[in-house]
Structure 1
């Protein structure tokens, strides 16, 4: 008689099952990593754009705090901007926090934060 014994078939199934499980975990980690990098990159672009708006403005920003929603890419983001005074009255500190809405009903999840300083235009 030729063929495989039941033990050999079970061992082969076990090996293929372990390989399949490992491949699924690696694939899942890759997708999660890709999504995290994508979200960080988009959030960084949003924060840089917001900071550059302050840098290119003709007026010195007042001390304030604001939150706005923004559609960027195919996602919805929350942009929280805080303009604070410093010990030097001609310099402002700007903190920008970017959060992504995972879906329409959820609270946003922080994706990136950027801080910088703006001097009074001369």
Structure 2
């Protein structure tokens, strides 16, 4: 009598379990990549908002008042809040400006930039 050839039911179930674990791991990896991509996109837009705020100060030659000011700095469909903190420096001709960008409902800063702004209003030509 010849032995039957082929796979037993146990072997098929073990193979299916291995494939299921591999698929679950790959789905989790894809989910992590999508989440990281969203975070990166938000941080990129927040960086642009902070850079835009500092560039606007430089281009208008504005001499910012010492203190803190918060304002909307949304990019596209992403709602963002910028906070500009202006502090004096040892040299009275310069002020330090720190711009932090946050997203309402989410803790922590998405971006933060610092610049030193000169007082160009009293500069002689």
Give the TM-score band, short-chain normalised. Answer: 0.7 to 0.9
Aligned to 1:70: 73
Unaligned runs of 5+ in 2: none
Question: Aligned runs of 1:26-45 on 2, under 5 Å?
Answer: 26-45=29-48
TM value normalised by structure 1: 0.87
Partner SS, residue 115 of structure 1: strand
Task: Say whether residues 1:92 and 2:95 are aligned partners.
Answer: yes
Unpaired runs of 5+ residues, structure 1, are none
Q: Deviations over 1:66-122 (max 9, x none)?
A: 112233111111111111101111100000000123xxxx35542011111011112
How many residues are treated as equivalent by the alignment?
Answer: 118
Q: CA RMSD in A?
A: 1.6
List 4+ stretches of structure 1 deviating above 2 A. Answer: 1-4, 106-109
Deviates more, 1:1-10 or 1:68-77: 1-10
Give 1:60 shift.
Answer: 1.5
Which residue pairs with 2:110 in the alignment?
111
Give the deviation of 1:6 after TM superposition: 1.7
Which has the greater radius of gyration? 2
